[in-house]
C-alpha cells in the first residue's frame, strides 16, 4: 500500500508543482507522515522535490531572471538558516495557525484585486520576500507561497516564473539537504521510496505541462493565488 500511495501521491504532487511552481512538498506531507516518522517524512519529500526542481530548472534554465531571483534566493537561504537555530524554542502550533490564517487572508486579498496587481521586480522587494519565505520555510517547512506571490507578479510569463521559482528551490533545497546529511538525519532507508517518487513526480510534470498550455496568463495567476489559500487551509487543518 505504501508504494501505491507514494506513486499516486507523487504524480499528483508533480501536477501541482508543474502548474503552480510550488506546493509539491505541501502535498506530499499530507500522506508521508502516516508511513514515516517526522524525521524521514520531510526528508523524503525534500529529496523527491529536489530532484524534480533540478529537472524543472534545467527545462527553464534559459528563462531565469537573475535580477528578480537572486535577492530572494540569498535572503531565503540566510533566513532559513538563522531560524533553524532557534526553532526549538518557539510555540510552533500557535505560529503555524497564525501563518495558515495569514496565507488564506493573503490569498483572498490577491484574488480580490488580482487584475490590478503587478509588482515591479525591485531588489528591495525581493529581499523582503526572501526574508519572509526563509522564516516561514525554517519554521513550517513551507516557504513557497510568499515567494510565489512575488514571482507571479514580477515575471512576465509562465516560463520566467518557473525558471525563477525552480532556481530558488534548487539552491535552497541543496542547502536544506546538506544540513540534514551533516546532521545525520538523512537516512539511506528512504532512497528506494525517493527513486519511485522521483519517477512518478516527473510523470506528473508531463501531465501538468499539458494543463498549463491551456491556461492563459490571467487564469494561471488565479490558480497560484487559489493554491496559496489551499496551502494555508491544509496547514490549518493539520493543527486542529
Among 25-34, 84-93, 211-220, name the one with the lowest average pLDDT: 84-93
pLDDT over threshold 90, residue 10: yes
pLDDT over threshold 70, residue 89: no
Tens of pLDDT along 116-138?
A: 656 666 777 888 888 888 877 76
Whether the Cβ atoms of residue 76 and residue 142 lie closer than 8 Å to each other:
no
Whether the Cβ atoms of residue 26 and residue 132 lie closer than 8 Å to each other:
no
Among 15-24, 81-90, 173-182, 227-236, name the one with the lowest average pLDDT: 81-90
The span from the CA of 173 to the CA of 187, in Å, is: 16
Please return the burial class of 50, using the count of CB atoms within 10 Å of its CB with bins 0-12, 13-18 and 19+. Answer: buried
Tens of pLDDT along 22-69?
A: 778 878 877 887 888 767 887 888 889 888 899 889 989 999 999 899
Whether the Cβ atoms of residue 171 and residue 74 lie closer than 8 Å to each other:
no
Amino acid at each position: 500500500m505504501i508504494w501505491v500511495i507514494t506513486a499516486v501521491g507523487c504524480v499528483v504532487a508533480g501536477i501541482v508543482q508543474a502548474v503552480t511552481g510550488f506546493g509539491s512538498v505541501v502535498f506530499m506531507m499530507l500522506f508521508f507522515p502516516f508511513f514515516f516518522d517526522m524525521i524521514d517524512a520531510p526528508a523524503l519529500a525534500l529529496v523527491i522535490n529536489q530532484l524534480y526542481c533540478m529537472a524543472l530548472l534545467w527545462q527553464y534554465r534559459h528563462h531565469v531572471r537573475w535580477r528578480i531571483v537572486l535577492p530572494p534566493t540569498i535572503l531565503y537561504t540566510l533566513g532559513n538558516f538563522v531560524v533553524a537555530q532557534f526553532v526549538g524554542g518557539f510555540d510552533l502550533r500557535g505560529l503555524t495557525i497564525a501563518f495558515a490564517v495569514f496565507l488564506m487572508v493573503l490569498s483572498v486579498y490577491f484574488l480580490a484585486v488580482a487584475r490590478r496587481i503587478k509588482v515591479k521586480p525591485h531588489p528591495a522587494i525581493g529581499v523582503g520576500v526572501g526574508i519572509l519565505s526563509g522564516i516561514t520555510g525554517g519554521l513550517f517547512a513551507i516557504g513557497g507561497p510568499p515567494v510565489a506571490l512575488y514571482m507571479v507578479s514580477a515575471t512576465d510569463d509562465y516560463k520566467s516564473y518557473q525558471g525563477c521559482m525552480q532556481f530558488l528551490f534548487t539552491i535552497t533545497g541543496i542547502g536544506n539537504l546538506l544540513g540534514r546529511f551533516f546532521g545525520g538525519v538523512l537516512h539511506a532507508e528512504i532512497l528506494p521510496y525517493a527513486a519511485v517518487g522521483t519517477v512518478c513526480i516527473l510523470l506528473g510534470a508531463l501531465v501538468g505541462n499539458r494543463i498549463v498550455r491551456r491556461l492563459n496568463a490571467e487564469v494561471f495567476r488565479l490558480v497560484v493565488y487559489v493554491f496559496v489559500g489551499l496551502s494555508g487551509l491544509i496547514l490549518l487543518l493539520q493543527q486542529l
